[in-house]
Amino acid sequence: MPTMPAPQQATLLTLDKTLKLFNTLNLEGKKQLINLTATTIQSDGVLHRSEYELLRVLAALLNCPMPFIDGVIKK
């Protein structure tokens, strides 16, 4: 399992590079990334608005459809 980046490594430039890398995935890879993200945010049984918005933005950036999310969005 990869380690979490140090706070000084978590920059907008790093995020931009990572998103560009994700965008080079083929369609199946993008779908898998979106579905894994959806599974992760639903794993605790609570769907927070920020989690939902993160998934929505990721799907839009990757030009991939949003998966069905089960649950009620909490604020």
Structure tokens at 56: 């929505």
> Does residue 62 lie within any of the structural domains?
yes
Reported as a single tens digit per residue, the pLDDT across 3-44 is 877 888 889 998 899 889 999 999 999 999 999 999 999 888
Reported as a single tens digit per residue, the pLDDT across 36-75 is 999 999 888 888 999 999 999 999 999 998 888 877 788 7
- Please give the torsion angle defined by the CA atoms of residues 38, 42, 46 and 49, in that order, rounded to the nearest 10 degrees: 0
3-class SS at 75? coil
- Give the Cα separation of 68 and 38 in Å (integer): 9
Range of the domain at 48: 26-74
> Does residue 11 lie within any of the structural domains?
no
Count: domains in the chain? 1
- Give whole-number Cα distances, 6 to 3, 9, 51, 66, 67, in Å: 9, 5, 21, 30, 31
